[in-house]
Chain A
Amino acid sequence: YVLTQGNPRWEQTQLTYRIENYTPDLSRADVDHAIEKAFQLWSAVTPLTFSKVSEGLADIMISFTRGDHGDNSPFYGPEGDLAHAFQPGPHIGGDIHFDEDETWTNDLRHYNLFYVAAHELGHSLGLSHSNDIGALMYPNYNVNSYDDIQLSQDDINGIQAIYGPSKNPSQPTGRQTPQMCDSKLTFDAITTLRGEVMFLKDRFYMRPGSHYSEPELHYINVFWPNLPNGLQAAYEFADRDEIRFFKGNEYWAVRGTEMLPGYPRSIHRSFGFPRSVENIDAAVFEENTGKTYFFVADKIWRYDEYKQSMDAGYPKQIAADFPGIGNHVDAVFQKNGFLYFFRGRRQYKFDPRTKRVLTLLKPNSWFNC
């Protein structure tokens, strides 16, 4: 997080706000609700309280305006700047201006008023922009699901550095953005992708660097806007240039950046899993055999991609085919003939020909830390 230069802050904890005018894009009730929810995000983690007033001057004056509106920071029509806010202080201090040339929504269409209001309020309270891509205080708009509209731990750390924590004994915790060089990093899923490896965690993908590029952390929706957050397993069926992503009892397929039509599909109907299998922990396609291994709790299932059926004799205990990697797998992928299994804070390099673990590695060994 970054504090506003000079560390401006509100000296009083009981602040007032007033909505000076309303956008025609939403009902007044929707605007009131979005703004109130935005204040609640910040009041839940600080001693600050916010009261709405309907007349006169408030600490934080909120308005919808367009073009040059007399504060030396004009808007320039749709897109570009969505809104801005002023640091804590008297007069214009703390005030928030939304660009009326944008279309404001209370859903996932651009641009969600609650999300933008919550971000601007961070400025009104003394936060500057964060370079944590998962933080609400990151400057770019990025809302793909309702889950995205909440404080990250970075936001909470920032605001509590200014005002201290809430006196409420039950403290909400914020979401952490994965740190590629954190040795405690774990993964939801890993897949190869046209020769590269993509590590998935929450809303993010991590892509190791190569000789010409740095490791990269970004939102999964940069590539696939329609995939849900929190994917649980993924594998590349290279023969068809397809990647399959799993969450719960559904899966999605993509080719390059194209989401293939007809998904999500059921893992029960497509692969023949019994109803008792509710989700898949990890999956990997073995090019040599044309088989895909699915890891479900302490068992493996083997699926023949060409016969499109489960192999007889499965499920088995994981140890039957992959001795030494334990009884649970978070994620797995194949590269250069070896399988790399991830379980908690461990990574196992496994030789499928000899069925032996070759090396134990840190989970983030691919990121040149």
Chain B
Amino acid sequence: FPARSFKMPKDAEQMVQQYLENYYDLKSVGEQIGQIGRQRKGSLVVEKLKQMQKFFGLKVTGKPDAETLKMMQQARCGVPDVAA
């Protein structure tokens, strides 16, 4: 199938983090320190990614796959998709 060519951005992880912070109320986890904080961050990102994928009608994987990253790169309204 002719899926449009897609170049994975170099800073994909940072882009996902920023997108979820902006539009999906993913709190900045910079202040969380240690293993528990990192685990918590990981599960929060997955949860928010699933939320985002469901909202946009994408396959809900909880992973930043090509379709998800492509959607994140589209120009959009700056109002968050979920209430802060």
Contact = CB atoms under 8 A, between A and B. Distances in A.
B83 A82 contact: no
B78 A73 contact: yes
A185 interface: no
B36 interface: no
12 contacts: A4-B83, A73-B78, A79-B75, A81-B75, A81-B78, A82-B77, A83-B77, A102-B75, A194-B2, A217-B57, A218-B57, A257-B2
B40 interface: no
Residue of A110, A128, A193 with most chain B CB atoms under a 10 A cut-off: A128
Interface size class of B (residues with CB under 8 A): 10 to 19
Given A79-B75, A140-B74, A131 B83 contact: no
A213 B78 contact: no
Interface in A125-156: 128-129, 131, 133, 139-142
A222 B1 CA distance: 13
B82 to A, nearest CB: 9
A120 B81 CA distance: 13
Contacts of B23: 139
A119 B79 CA distance: 11
Contacts of B81: 128-129, 139
Interface string B45-76: 00000000011110100000000000100111
B4 interface: yes
A84 interface: yes
Interface in A1-31: 4-5
Residue of B23, B77, B81 with most chain A CB atoms under a 10 A cut-off: B77
B36 to A, nearest CB: 30
A110 B22 CA distance: 22
Interface in A185-209: 193-196
B75 A123 contact: no
A293 B52 CA distance: 43
A80 interface: yes
Contact of A81 (B4, B59, B76): B76
